[in-house]
Amino acid sequence: MRMFCPLKIRERRQRIGMTQEQLALHADISRTHMGAVEHGKAMPTAGIVAKLAYALRVKETYFFADTVSYKEQL
């Protein structure tokens, strides 16, 4: 199962020297919603993930991580 990882937004944004406000502008989303997504308080739609990926110059899959199932943890 793949899970959205909001920390990857901040990592990439900071790596390329972009502020949260600049990213929101480039991705055409509100600064408030951008902050909520980046802090894991809002789940982005597929459309917003696509906009973020384009603005940050990464593939959409960059924001997703594999999760370990409960059985594999036992």
pTM of the model: 0.84
3-state secondary structure of 57: coil
Residue 73, C-beta contacts closer than 8 angstroms, at least 6 positions apart:
none
Residue 44: what are its φ and ψ, rounded to 5°?
A: -75, 150
Domains, the chain, with CATH or none: 2-57 (1.10.260.40)
What pLDDT score was predicted for residue 65? Answer: 83
Write out the H or E segment, with its range, that includes residue 4.
Answer: strand 2-4
What are the tens digits of pLDDT across the range 11-42?
999 999 999 999 999 999 999 999 999 999 99
CB distance 66 to 2 below 8 Å? yes
Q: Report the alpha-carbon distance of residue 15 to residue 66 in Å, rounded.
A: 22
